Chains A and B, each alone.
Chain A
Amino acid sequence: MARLVHASDRALLVVFDDAITVAAGNDVRVLYEWLLNDPPAAIVDLHPAYATLLIRYDPLRCDPDALAREIEHRVGSLSVRPVRNGQLFEIPVRYGGSHGPDLAEVARATGLREDEVVATHAGCVYDVRFVGFSPGFPYLAGLPERLHRPRREAPRSHVPAGSVAIAGAQAGIYPVRSPGGWNVIGQTDFILFDSTRGSPATLAPGDRVRFLVAGIGS
């Protein structure tokens, strides 16, 4: 059962589930797209994540309790809403060597050869659950279990743009240079964020991603 909490004096948080489930992810998407296309007054920003939607509003332009009732009403009628069909994106990756400094360690820890790690990572289709953390960063679900590895003990202060990385059950790509603790196994030139576009993030919840092997090592 979804619940609604006041996350602050200017934001409501819709929690569809405390766990990361496919059903909750779908509900987040449907509510997000509904509020995006037909926003109640005073909505300032919407942030979908795994199982929650954060709704920021202007408290000077609305009654928070009335807004909460409106959101609750929509949450109760999600089942009749259509879901946008996502697109499949193919993203070429140069794995290992200087492009993927953590590939060797992931291979060692999983007992796989480096080319097996690459084949596993590139051998499946991922779901884009949401974009967050930094501009255009996609949180991808679908990483095969044998590649599940904890974050690095010591996060890097600078992870280069285009780094293809994994952490726990998650896969992702760093679109801009930023700090980061995920295991970097490759590098891509694929553009994930372009501030000159109306929709700056290339990927959106519901899209799918397949990684293509553009090279291994060196």
Chain B
Amino acid sequence: MKIGVITKREKAHKTGSVMRETMGRLESRGVAVEEIFPEDARVEVAGVEADCDLYLLKSGTEAALSLAGVLHAAGARIINPYPTVVAMRDKIISTKLLQDANVPLPETWFASKPGQLAGLLKEGPIVVKPFWAASQGRGVQIIRTEEELSEASGEDGVVFAQRYYQPDGRDHKLYVIGDRVFGVRRVWPPATLEDKLGEPFDVPEGMRETALGCGRAFGVGLYGVDLITSDGKPYVVDINTFPGFKGVPNASELLADYVLSSIEG
């Protein structure tokens, strides 16, 4: 059995990386693990073959996603599947799927020019985010005035906006592996290493259901959810296709189990 891990070289070799540990565990269970670094490669497209039993799409870069697309066209099994990752990374499509699954979300709009959103500011601030593949808060702006709005830039002619809700406390990171849900509270943006690791907490039943609902919306079992509460109400503000699982107890063992069970079907 062979598993290909599509990752970034600098990430894969960081000590304490959950993925690094997971690969070690898979190898000790007799699985061959091949690391694939799309950034370092010159890939001959016609020569790409799905020669691993399963691929893990850990990296979220455009190069990684292109390679996953080619592997998908060649019939590969990928966690998470390529079309699913495309839907999850497109905030417009993912919002609709989450709404259909009754996941609590901020009110959401999209347009082609920031000016089209001006009317929304009468009801309060909005958050403008890149609609495609935003991660770790990059490009996220809280907009309170028309002036701020006019300076906000869209991306490829798309402006994605959500109502801003003042969070009650720290952000909640929910990590899902199969039907297990783990919670870590984090300060955003992190200033210290402690902030980065966050503080694990017991996930209440309602929050657990919300996290699992996100997975059902896309048909996936390995993902992360960013959730805030405002006035006591939960709002899912982001979905990650393959998070770092930092701060999750036993993460590498659970991941290795999950990966092996999904190969065995």
Q: Do A and B bind each other?
A: no
Q: Write the residues of chain B forming the contact surface with A, with a CB cutoff of 8 angstroms.
A: none
Q: Which residues of A contact B (CB under 8 A)?
A: none
